[in-house]
Amino acid sequence: MTSKNRTGTSKAVYQKLKEQILHLELPPGAAISEIETAEKYEISRTPVRDAFKMLENEGLLEIRPHIGTFVSLIDLNMISDILYMREVLEQAVFRDLASIYDKSHEFGIRLILQKQKEMLDSALPPDELSRSFIISDNIFHNTLYELAGRKNVMCFWQSINSQYERFRTFLNLGDRENLLRLYHGHEILWECISHKDYGNLSKCISHHIYDGFNSSTEVVSRHPEYFKHI
């Protein structure tokens, strides 16, 4: 295998495994084998080892020498810090967007919201609905950053966001009521931006970011094995 092919193969395996980890198809604490992964994708162990290293660098895998490789546990202290950063970013970025809002921004956002509503009204199985909605949720927020001219800020945010992405999936997996809350939060957020309602915008951002985390005690207590130091 050439160096270029190996790199491409490593990135492909990395992307597939990362998606499985973020969607909890590989849950926190799960063991994962180089040999089994190589056999599954019908490749050598070398690109798998490279993919594992990339995931370890992102904090999604923990490689324990002479013991094995495991999906990392979720660190709630890290989640709290990430939420703090997200609130600071979105308070600034969404105020910027409100200040430059015009009607040309309306169609794309309304289309995303319509698709989210259709998703929630559909007969998708609960877990599939949750994973699909989280993807759409990311599209909604990414679009707001792009409209505000802050695409590079969003790219930076995504580079440190993996742990939070996994936690969000955990909180919302199979919970249609939580997804409805997120959807209505999107509607209110966009109304505040489009009406340049800065006072309510600030409150809306804080609620949208923290409400799920602040009410997560019960669902977290059902799966203490997924978390560090619980």
Query: What's the CATH code of the domain at 66?
Result: 1.10.10.10
Residue 125 confidence (pLDDT): 93
Name the pLDDT band for 92 (thresholds 50, 70, 90).
very high
For residues 2 and 187, which has the higher predicted lDDT (pLDDT)? 187
pTM summary value: 0.87
Residue 40 confidence (pLDDT): 92
In sequence order, which residues have a C-beta less than 8 Å from that of residue 102 and are 6 or more positions away? none
Mean pLDDT of 66-90: 94
In sequence order, which residues have a C-beta less than 8 Å from that of residue 208 and are 6 or more positions away? 182, 185, 186, 189
Percentage of the residues of the chain whose pLDDT score is greater than 70: 96
Residue 159 confidence (pLDDT): 83
20 with 112, same domain: the answer is: no
- Of 16, 50, 71, which one is at a domain's C-terminal end? 71
Tokens of 153: 């800020």
The 10 Å CB-count burial string (b at 16+, else e) for 17-50 is bbeebbbbebbbeeebebeebbeebebeeebbbb
Of how many residues is the chain composed? 230
Tell me the per-residue pLDDT of 162-187, one tens digit each, with 9 for 90 and over: 889 999 999 988 889 999 999 999 99
Residue 143, CA atoms < 13 Å, CB-side half-sphere: 17
Phi, psi of 125 (to 5 degrees): -55, 145
Count of CB atoms within 10 A of residue 185's CB? Answer: 19
Range of the domain at 14: 3-71
Number of domains in the chain: 2
The pLDDT of residue 5 is above 70? no
126 with 102, same domain: the answer is: yes
Residue 212 confidence (pLDDT): 86
67 with 82, same domain: the answer is: no
Tell me the per-residue pLDDT of 200-222, one tens digit each, with 9 for 90 and over: 999 999 999 999 888 888 889 99
In sequence order, which residues have a C-beta less than 8 Å from that of residue 135 and are 6 or more positions away? none
Count of CB atoms within 10 A of residue 87's CB? Answer: 16
Tell me the per-residue pLDDT of 128-157, one tens digit each, with 9 for 90 and over: 999 999 999 999 999 999 999 999 999 988
- Of 71, 100, 121, which one is at a domain's C-terminal end? 71
